């Protein structure tokens, strides 16, 4: 089967050993690639007794069959393993050019374990991996890291690495690649840090083997034309364009999920464009260029994206654009997740306002809207000092440490809820509750279905009433599967491609016929094995729920009054996945997934 | 004839306006807006819910026009 380089490197940093093994293509047919294949390959290694930051822990850096091909949106890669933030299955993806170059360097994935005695980095090129000394990289931020390694490497290279937050083993530390591209969620920066792994340099010289180059290129040209035509405003404004759309529908959370209104005229895409010289920035091979680069205080910084603009904006009641831009830059440089950091900071502000914080913390935690306090708190987070120690570990551990109820935690499976209000779209709420990594907008961004942003009429994916999923549970499950397919391929969510075209591309790439049933079954397999891993690591179907904090009706805004009722739909959802009615996984289904053939 | 208020997503850089409709259907409004908004695909929401073209608007209804863009 083509589309795969056929090689996965297994790297043991303790033993300073690299072993290159063939990509198990039989399993690739069952899980396709990306985080799905990673979950299968890591299944036996992710055990409750091995803590996420232990030397014996594993982390996989994966591409998929479409990665590095002509298909638009094919630059991404996934970082997977046991999350230090949640303790369960974790995965995060990122764009830029790293994924494409990893494939072009000859690998479908890198599976890393062990711990180097001193700081190291990996050099990946021409089908080889070398462990290189990296003590000189210690303490560098993620931009300095790029600069330093580019003194050694040039040409078609891409670098993914960690900043100080990762070195400090902060549970929400990110892996940042290229400039400001983040595999942000779930703390894999800390996993890199725990292994004394500062960075991975990939040199992408080769070509990804595909079975039918011409038809693939013709399809890619057609899709590129479509995206360019339809995404003109997306190119101009990036994901920030969604700010006032989200506001209208009550999708942008405000003041730690307690309000629905904010001064949208102060924080919207137009204001950002008026305030800064913004340039679109594209990932490798992408016609859309949704990324942003802007000039701030005399230097070029990346972003912010919609998620970050809300997390450091309305969520903490900050409407000062400079503060949002600076907060994003701090997170990028130190290398931590803007969503989890924003949510945890907002939690502390909320607890302060509700008079639930101990006296010694009250002075340290800023009030909602305190711009200077926000910047200071985020710097402390990167440095793991003061209240930054609390923020860096996320809402669940923060509440544990404070001895407060988990009902205040805006999180599912211990992962902080991203910037899409579950009360604005009931289908989104069900996606959060059943997501393979916890509350995640990228593994079932159902709000886009009910806004008519994404449609696939062949599959019955059409919008419906956003406050109800009655009679539409199958649609939520199907859309979650489609997004899971993206994570297996590994393909960008923003280039939504009708399934028919995805199957065409996958068949052209691999030379193997794929059908809707086969790819959706693979996506289901991927979701199921990730769930099985989460269960092995201490989660259970009881975690398929929203926290109490977001189950109170909002008194204002576009999500006014709605409390998503999802519990009654869970048995139907489970059944659609082939799980037992209580949400557990049938033994025979799991056994089938664990077979090597 | 009915009059509806149309609010545009900020990326259109267009002020809110009142538009007269003969049949009052959302389809009629969509047709008028299609010419104005060039080729970029868009959707219409009424009372917080996206609506299809058969919906009959009422005098004084407010319609929100937004492009098909995602916030990742």
Q: Residue A332's closest CA among A532, A531, A94? A: A94
Residue A220 lies in a domain: no
Chain A contact for B54 (CB, 8 A cutoff): no
In chain A, which residue's Cα lies nearest the Cα of B65? A245
CATH assignment at residue A395: 1.10.569.10
How much is the pLDDT for B19? 97
CB contact under 8 A, B70 and A236: no
Please provide the DSSP assignment of A423-479 as one string.
TT-HHHHHHHHH-BTBS-SSS--THHHHTTSS-BGGGTB----TT--TT-HHHHHHH
Q: Domain tally for chain A? A: 3
Is the separation of the CB atoms in A336 and A174 below 8 Å? yes
Model confidence at B39: pLDDT above 80 = no
Residues A447 and A305 in one domain: no
Do A143 and A76 fall within a single domain? yes
pTM of the model: 0.97
* pLDDT average, residue stretch B49-53: 91
Interface test with chain A among B5, B63, B71, by most A beta carbons within 10 Å: B71
Residue A225 forms part of a structural domain = no
Would you call A281 exposed, middle or buried from its count of C-beta atoms within 10 A (0-12, 13-18, 19+)?
buried
Note down the domain range covering A191: 7-203
User: For residue range A93-116, what is the model confidence (pLDDT) as tens digits?
Assistant: 999 999 999 999 999 999 999 999
* CATH number where A475 lies: 1.10.599.10
Based on the domain organization, do A459 and A587 belong to the same domain? yes
Whose CA is closest to A53, among A155, A230, A190?
A: A190
The pLDDT of residue B16: 97
Where do the structural domains in chain B lie, given as residue ranges? 2-67
Judgement on whether residues A381 and A432 belong to the same structural domain of the protein:
no
Contact B69 A493 (CB under 8 A): no
pLDDT tens per residue across span A26-59: 999 999 999 999 999 999 999 999 999 999 999 9
- Rounded CA-CA distance A222/A553 in Å is 45
One domain for residues A547 and A427: yes
Do A394 and A429 reside in the same domain of the chain? Answer: no
Q: Among candidates A499, A427, A498, A526, which has minimal Cα distance to A468?
A: A427
Residue A212 lies in a domain: no
**Run of H or E including B35:** helix B26-36
Q: Identify whether residues A337 and A408 lie together within a single domain.
A: yes
ipTM above 0.90, yes or no: yes
Residue A400 and residue A426 in one domain = no
Q: Which residues of chain A have pLDDT under 50?
A: none
A268 interaction partners in chain B (CB closer than 8 Å) = 10
- A208 domain residue, yes or no: no
Is residue A157 located within the same domain as residue A281?
Answer: no
Distance to chain B for A248, nearest Cα, Å: 7
Over residues B11-21, the mean pLDDT reads 96
Query: Mind telling me how many Å the CA of B13 is from chain A's nearest CA?
Result: 8
Q: Are A93 and A185 contained in the same domain?
A: yes
- What integer best gives the mean pLDDT of chain A? 96
Decide which of A412, A442, A469 is a domain's last residue. A412
Same domain? For A505 and A546 the reply is yes
Whether residue A300 sits in one domain with residue A352: yes
Report yes or no: A164 and A174 within 8 Å, Cβ to Cβ.
no
Closest by CA position to A377, among listed A420, A414, A331: A331
In this structure, is residue A79 part of a structural domain? yes
Give the CATH number of domain B2-67. Answer: 3.10.20.90
A247, A286, A299: which is closest to A269 by C-alpha? A247
Say if the Cβ atoms of B70 and A493 lie within 8 Å. yes
């Amino acid at each position: 089967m083509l589309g795969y380089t056929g090689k996965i490197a297994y790297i043991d940093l303790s033993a300073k050993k690299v072993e290159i093994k063939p990509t198990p293509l039989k399993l690739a047919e069952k899980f396709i690639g990306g985080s799905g294949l990673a979950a299968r390959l890591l299944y036996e290694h992710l055990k409750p007794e091995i803590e996420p930051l232990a030397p014996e822990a594993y982390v996989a850096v994966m591409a998929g069959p479409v990665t590095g091909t002509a298909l638009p949106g094919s630059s991404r890669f996934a970082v997977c393993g046991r999350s230090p933030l949640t303790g369960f299955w974790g995965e995060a993806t990122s764009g830029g050019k790293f994924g494409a170059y990893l494939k072009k360097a000859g690998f479908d994935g890198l599976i890393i374990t062990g711990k180097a005695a001193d700081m190291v980095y990996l050099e990946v090129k021409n089908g080889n991996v070398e462990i290189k000394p990296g003590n000189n990289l210690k303490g560098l931020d993620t931009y300095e890291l790029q600069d330093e390694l580019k003194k050694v490497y040039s040409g078609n290279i891409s670098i993914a690495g960690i900043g100080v937050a990762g070195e400090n083993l902060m549970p929400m530390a990110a892996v940042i690649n290229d400039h400001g591209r983040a595999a942000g969620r779930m703390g894999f920066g800390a996993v890199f840090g725990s292994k004394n792994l500062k960075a991975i340099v990939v040199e992408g010289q080769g070509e990804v083997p595909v079975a039918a180059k011409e038809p693939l290129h013709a399809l890619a040209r057609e899709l590129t034309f479509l995206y360019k035509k339809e995404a003109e405003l997306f190119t101009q404004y990036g994901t920030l364009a969604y700010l006032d759309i989200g506001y209208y529908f009550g999708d942008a959370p405000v003041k730690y999920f307690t309000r629905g209104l904010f001064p949208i005229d102060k924080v919207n895409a137009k204001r950002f464009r008026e305030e800064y010289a913004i340039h679109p920035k594209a990932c490798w091979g992408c016609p859309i260029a949704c990324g942003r680069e802007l000039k701030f205080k005399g230097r070029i910084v990346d972003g912010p994206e919609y998620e970050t603009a809300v997390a450091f904006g309305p969520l903490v009641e900050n409407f000062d654009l400079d503060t949002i831009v600076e907060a994003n830059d701090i997170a990028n440089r130190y290398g931590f997740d803007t969503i989890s950091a924003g949510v945890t900071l907002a939690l502390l502000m909320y607890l302060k306002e509700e008079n639930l914080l101990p006296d010694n913390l009250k002075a340290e935690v800023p009030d909602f809207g305190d711009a200077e306090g926000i910047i200071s708190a985020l710097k402390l987070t990167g440095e793991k000092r003061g209240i930054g120690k609390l923020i860096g570990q996320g809402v669940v551990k923060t509440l544990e440490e404070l001895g407060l109820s988990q009902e205040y935690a805006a999180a599912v499976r211990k992962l902080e809820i991203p910037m899409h209000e579950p009360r604005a779209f009931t289908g989104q709420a069900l996606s959060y509750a059943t997501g393979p990594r916890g509350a995640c907008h990228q593994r079932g961004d159902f709000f886009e279905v009910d806004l008519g942003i994404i449609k696939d009429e062949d599959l019955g994916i059409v919008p419906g009433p956003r406050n109800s999923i009655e009679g539409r549970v199958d649609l939520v499950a199907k859309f979650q599967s489609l997004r899971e397919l993206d994570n297996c391929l590994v393909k960008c969510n923003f280039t939504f491609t009708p399934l028919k075209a995805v199957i065409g591309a996958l068949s052209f790439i691999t030379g193997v016929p794929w059908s809707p049933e086969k790819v959706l079954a693979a996506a289901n397999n991927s979701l199921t094995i990730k769930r099985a891993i989460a269960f092995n690591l201490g989660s259970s179907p009881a975690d398929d729920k929203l926290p109490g904090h977001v189950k109170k009706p909002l008194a204002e805004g576009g999500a006014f009054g709605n409390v998503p009722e999802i519990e009654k739909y869970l048995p139907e959802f489970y059944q659609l996945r082939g799980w037992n009615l209580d949400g557990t996984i049938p033994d025979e289904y799991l056994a089938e997934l664990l077979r090597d053939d | 004839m009915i009059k509806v208020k149309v609010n545009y997503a900020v990326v259109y850089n267009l002020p809110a306006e009142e538009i007269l409709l003969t049949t009052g259907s959302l389809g009629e409004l969509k047709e008028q807006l299609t010419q104005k908004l060039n080729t970029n695909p868009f959707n219409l929401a009424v009372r917080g819910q996206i609506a299809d073209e058969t919906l009959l608007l009422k005098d004084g209804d407010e319609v929100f026009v937004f492009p098909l863009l995602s916030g990742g």
